[in-house]
């Protein structure tokens, strides 16, 4: 019972401190698709970004994912940024489906949009980079040969991926997983329990928390069991060294796959 109460507390605090994006009533699904071209643009070299709970906005920070995309752009990889939760709401899709299916449907629509606009070469293969909650859709995708083929996905990289459905990873493409050893939201024990597999590489940054790659979280987000008295319990916190290393790993992984 204590464990359940603690988990409920952690997830309540987490979801309340990272609000989901509000979607205007007149918004269109494609308003939430953004394509950022590489320095040396080639329509056959691309990756898709799927963000966490807050979409492309992390509290007041609206630049994090675009800044990460710039790092890939400098390595000649263009990036399709997909604010998937907001896009799904704006689509007004009238189908009953769970979140993994919602994520994959929006991913397909975003890729279709990018190809129709000439940003992505239709028959080219690319990669997906997902953060936190995006793991709900990307872990099952990694296991699904037909969907990977349909979407032309050759590799998947995941930052501290959520796996609330407790799916065992059996990837049909190379997968890179990066997480923090002190993450209280997506615990490393759960990652090691479900995501160890052939074709998967797991990188654990021992002293890092959830959101360790987000520079705007330098002061961190925390709670105390007893206000003003007990020790700070960090839920989100930036780690400069872990962030630097993981971005280097990410680019190396995407370039080599």
Q: How confident is the model at residue 228 (pLDDT cuts 50, 70, 90)?
A: confident
Which of helix, strand or coil describes residue 160? Answer: coil
Domain residues for 21?
2-256
Maximum Cα–Cα distance for the chain, whole Å?
58
For the purposes of burial, counting CB atoms within 10 Å of the CB of 244, is it exposed (0-12), middle (13-18) or buried (19 or more)?
exposed
Structurally, the chain folds into a number of domains equal to: 1
Q: How far is CA 4 from CA 10, 33, 66, 73, in A?
A: 10, 37, 36, 43
Tell whether pTM > 0.85.
yes
Model pLDDT, residue 15: 45
Is the Cβ–Cβ distance between 76 and 47 less than 8 Å?
A: no
What proportion of the chain, given as a percentage, has pLDDT over 90?
81
CA distance 227 to 232: 9
Helix, strand, coil percentages in the chain from 3-state DSSP, rounded to 5:
40, 20, 40
Q: What CATH number is given to the structural domain containing 229?
A: 3.40.50.1820
Q: Residues 127-180: pLDDT tens digits?
A: 999 999 999 999 999 999 999 999 999 999 999 999 999 999 999 999 999 999
Q: Is the pLDDT of residue 4 over 80?
A: no
Q: Is the pLDDT of residue 9 over 70?
A: no
Q: Residues 243-253: pLDDT tens digits?
A: 999 999 999 99
Q: Residues 40-72: pLDDT tens digits?
A: 999 999 999 999 988 999 999 999 999 999 999
């Amino acid at each position: 019972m204590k464990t359940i109460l603690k988990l409920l507390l952690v997830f309540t605090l987490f979801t309340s401190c990272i609000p989901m994006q509000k979607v205007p009533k007149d918004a269109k699904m494609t308003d939430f698709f953004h394509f950022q071209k590489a320095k040396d643009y080639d329509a056959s070299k691309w990756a898709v970004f799927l963000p966490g709970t807050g979409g492309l906005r992390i509290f007041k920070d609206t630049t994090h994912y675009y800044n990460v995309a710039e790092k890939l752009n400098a390595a000649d990889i263009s990036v399709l940024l997909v604010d998937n939760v907001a896009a799904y709401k704006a689509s007004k899709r009238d189908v009953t489906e769970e979140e993994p299916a919602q994520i994959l449907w929006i991913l397909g629509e975003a890729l279709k949009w990018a190809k129709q606009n000439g940003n992505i070469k239709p028959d080219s293969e690319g990669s997906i980079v997902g953060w936190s909650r995006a793991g709900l859709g990307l872990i099952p995708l990694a296991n699904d040969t037909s969907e990977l083929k349909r979407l032309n996905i050759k590799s998947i990289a995941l930052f501290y991926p959520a796996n609330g459905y407790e799916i065992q990873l059996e990837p049909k493409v190379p997968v890179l997983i990066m997480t923090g050893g002190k993450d209280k939201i997506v615990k490393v024990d759960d990652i090691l329990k479900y995501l160890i597999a052939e074709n998967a590489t797991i990188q654990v940054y021992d002293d890092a928390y959830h959101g360790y790659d987000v520079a705007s979280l330098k002061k961190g987000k925390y709670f105390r069991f007893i206000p003003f008295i007990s020790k700070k319990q960090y839920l989100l916190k930036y780690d400069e060294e872990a962030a630097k290393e993981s971005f280097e790993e990410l680019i190396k992984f995407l370039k080599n796959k």
